[in-house]
Amino acid sequence: MDRKKEFLIRVYMVMAGFILLAIVMFGRVIQISHFQGKKWRAMAEDLYFTLTPVEAERGNILADDGSPLAISLPFFEIRMDTKAKGLDEKTFKANVEALSEKLEAHQFVEGNAKQIKNWLVREKKAGNRYLLIAKNLDYQQLQELKTFPLFKLGQNKGGLIIIRKSRREKPFKILANRTIGLHRDTFSIGLENAFNSELKGKDGERMMRKVAANTYIPVDNVTEMEAKKGNDIVTTINIGIQEVAEESLYEYMEKHLADKGCAIVMETKTGAIKAVANLGRNEFGELTEDYNYAIAHSTEPGSTMKLASTLAMLETGKVDVKSGVDLNGGIAFFYNEKMEDSELHSVGMSDLEYAFSKSSNVGIAKLATAVFSGNKIGFADYYQQWNLNKRTGIELGGEPLPVIKHPNVDKEKWYGTTLPWMSIGYEMQMTPLQILNFYNAVANNGRMMKPFMVSDIKSDEDIIRTIKPKVVLDSMFSPQALRQAKELLLHVVEKGTASTLKNEAYSIAGKTGTSVSNYFKSTDGSKEYQASFCGYFPAEAPKYSVIVVIYNPKQGGYYGASVAAPVFKRIADHCMRSEGAQAIIVNDQPKPKLSSDNMPIGNVGNYQDFKSIFDFIGLPFKQQNRAEWIRTVSDPSGVLSVPFESNPGVVPNVVGMGLRDAMYILDKAKIPSKPMGIGKVRTQSIAPGEVNYGTTIELYLE
């Protein structure tokens, strides 16, 4: 055989082998698809399994009394597997009509019973394994549906598929909305974000079977790993105080057409936040809780931070509340920069107590400059010593770092005007919470607490962690400086810019603030104001500290006393009413006497005038020596009088007199006088006892 024939034979044999193999394979395909197809398709179905996560129920956020502020409500989606293993034709036909009637009666499916039946039969023929029956059912509706014909047989025999989901709800709706926050898979804010690890729980797993592209149904009779519900968090928020804070803030922001505002209520001894209200205007001009101004919005605080500069001065021991200062009618210049009081006035010589209570920018800045002249580092050091340059550390995110200048650190930003302007709350940036935290330390006798909003972490009813109050700084101030600072804050309400807050039920101590937020920015002369009031109550034994800040009020006034203080008063009234018997006990105690509250002690006037007044009010009054003009002094049995003597040409002491009596005495001594202001004589320009040769004496009245 030649080589050619041999080669062809081999080729034909190989080709015959391939043909035979193809015939065998084709026959096998026909056998599998036509004769064994059902068997293999069933086996293939059983291979499409996967474990899918089961979302854990999120823990609740609770108020201080256990009331729910945010909860997870379950809702259910109902589907039907028309090809469930145990759902045969006989069972389906026997129940489909009754099931249709039930679905119609409960309006779970649109259409009448006949239409629903036809729809179910049609989907059964099509072999729909994931037929949607109803969505967003609550738990009660689910329980009713589980009693329906066919569905009561369960997943295997009735084809019932229950998909559980959850929806976050706030039972009190917008109450503390921004503080509570919200939770999404990709985004969270507020307490929902700060305590997400405690709230989220632990997801479970469930065996699912693939029935179509991207469609899986739970496998019946397969044990799933149950999800573990998240822990609950118990906040310090008091629903009653929160509601009053929000309603009052809303009312006065609308009244004054303000852009935004906030209010915070803090428990003095612990630092627990009892309420946080935030409001701002949206694009339609409506007030909504759009941003957490209380914690995240930093501005120049203005006059409320005169407390810090005044405390710094008092700590040096170089001044006290009676230290004199010339207010110069409300105008002063510092390195050619003009500083003005909120209103021009005729007051000249005064003292720290008057300057603080009347919120005189000129008075505070002059004193601060005099005390810390050549010692600027000492002024800034007090602010750092008191943690005014640090965050409070509250759990909620977004708190910015305060901007407090220091001449060593901010050499390029420390100007000649920095110290006087810092002393009145400018050239610095602080949030309302940071300001309140400082005031709370004063109210708490020099102990600064860390503000906090969550007191307990609970698993069901068991407390698994308690968050205790934390002391940040202790004994921040000297006793003498603290006592005088508290006296000044009380004087603001008793006789100063916040006198509208004075009431007989309980005492308030605090400070108004009326700052210009665009002080150095406005080019057209327009001003945007920031009205605030920060303080505590009751002044004798502080229980709560509160700050109210309202930004850019446009009508009906812009002063802290008229815009922010009324909101403070509403909150304080509610808190004190809720104290009940405790408030009564506090009110029964005598209020502390201010150094200037000496009426009727230490005043000078005509004997007959005093006698008539004291007889009318029933106050015991004794005259030691017969004199026409007297000065009153105290005695355990009442009030005594001592003679008031004046000699021609010698300057008498007329401090404490009314203007009429002072003018009479000075005329009698042949000394010309010039009164400034109204009320009683507070200071005089020439010291008592000096010989006067016709020089006019200026009387400064309050």
The pLDDT, as a whole number, for residue 583 is 40
pLDDT higher than threshold 60 for residue 208 = yes
Instruction: Find the CATH number of the domain harbouring 99.
Output: 3.90.1310.10
Residues 73 and 16 in one domain: no
The pLDDT, as a whole number, for residue 209 is 74
Last residue of a domain, one of 189, 212, 231: 231
Q: Residue 598: inside a domain, yes or no?
A: no
Residues 390 and 533 in one domain: yes
Q: Which residue has the tokens 């008539």?
A: 612
C-alpha 447: how far from chain center:
21
- The contacts of residue 609 (CB under 8 Å, 6+ apart) are none
Distances (CA, A) of 207 to 160, 222, 223, 308, 682: 16, 7, 8, 64, 86
Give the pairing type, strands 331-334 and 337-340: antiparallel
The mean pLDDT value for 594-608 works out to 53
Residues 128 and 244 in one domain: no
**Residue 597: pLDDT band with limits 50, 70, 90:** very low
Query: pTM higher than 0.75 for the full model?
Result: no
290: tokens are 């759009």
The mean pLDDT value for 39-65 works out to 75
C-alpha 43: how far from chain center:
61
**Residue 696: pLDDT band with limits 50, 70, 90:** confident
- The contacts of residue 243 (CB under 8 Å, 6+ apart) are 175
| Count of the separate structural domains present in the chain | 4
Residues 255 and 177 in one domain: no
Q: Residue 599: inside a domain, yes or no?
A: no
Q: Dump pLDDT digits (tens) for 667-678.
A: 877 888 888 777
The pLDDT, as a whole number, for residue 26 is 80
Residues 673 and 536 in one domain: no
Least confident of 144-153, 157-166, 384-393, 468-477: 157-166
The pLDDT, as a whole number, for residue 217 is 74
**Residue 279: pLDDT band with limits 50, 70, 90:** very high
Q: Residue 640: inside a domain, yes or no?
A: yes
The mean pLDDT value for 624-651 works out to 60
Instruction: Find the CATH number of the domain harbouring 300.
Output: 3.40.710.10
Give the pairing type, strands 131-137 and 160-169: unpaired
The pLDDT, as a whole number, for residue 220 is 63
Rounded to an integer, what distance in angstroms lies between the CA atom of residue 671 and that of residue 695?
A: 7
The mean pLDDT value for 118-137 works out to 92
pLDDT higher than threshold 70 for residue 594 = no
pLDDT higher than threshold 50 for residue 660 = yes
Last residue of a domain, one of 214, 231, 248: 231
Q: Residue 202: inside a domain, yes or no?
A: yes
Residues 302 and 395 in one domain: yes
Residues 206 and 255 in one domain: no
- Could you tell me the residue range of the domain that residue 610 belongs to? 604-701
Contact present, 292 and 278 (Cβ < 8 Å) = yes
**Residue 585: pLDDT band with limits 50, 70, 90:** very low
Residues 130 and 246 in one domain: no
The pLDDT, as a whole number, for residue 296 is 96
The pLDDT, as a whole number, for residue 675 is 84
Nearest alpha-carbon partner for 248 in 505, 533, 508, 583: 533
Distances (CA, A) of 364 to 270, 370, 371, 620, 702: 31, 10, 11, 40, 18
Exposed (0-12), middle (13-18) or buried (19+): which is 344, by Cβ within 10 Å?
exposed
Last residue of a domain, one of 13, 32, 47: 47
Contact present, 272 and 307 (Cβ < 8 Å) = no
Q: Can you tell me whether residue 226 is helix, strand or coil?
A: coil
End-to-end CA distance of the chain: 141
Peptide bond into 538 cis (omega under 30): yes
The pLDDT, as a whole number, for residue 448 is 98
Nearest alpha-carbon partner for 166 in 234, 81, 80, 227: 227
Average pLDDT of every residue of the chain: 85
Residues 85 and 41 in one domain: no
Q: Which residue has the tokens 């059964």?
A: 124
**Residue 584: pLDDT band with limits 50, 70, 90:** very low
Q: Residue 594: inside a domain, yes or no?
A: no
Residues 285 and 420 in one domain: yes
HEC string of 565-600? HHHHHHHHHHHHHHHCHHHHHHHHCCCCCCCCCCCC
Rounded to an integer, what distance in angstroms lies between the CA atom of residue 244 and that of residue 296?
A: 22
pLDDT higher than threshold 60 for residue 522 = no
Residues 178 and 252 in one domain: no
CA Rg value for the chain: 40
Q: Residue 653: inside a domain, yes or no?
A: yes
The pLDDT, as a whole number, for residue 618 is 61
Q: Residue 482: inside a domain, yes or no?
A: yes
Q: Residue 593: inside a domain, yes or no?
A: no
Residues 227 and 249 in one domain: no
Contact present, 87 and 151 (Cβ < 8 Å) = no
Nearest alpha-carbon partner for 435 in 447, 446, 425: 425
348: tokens are 């000249």
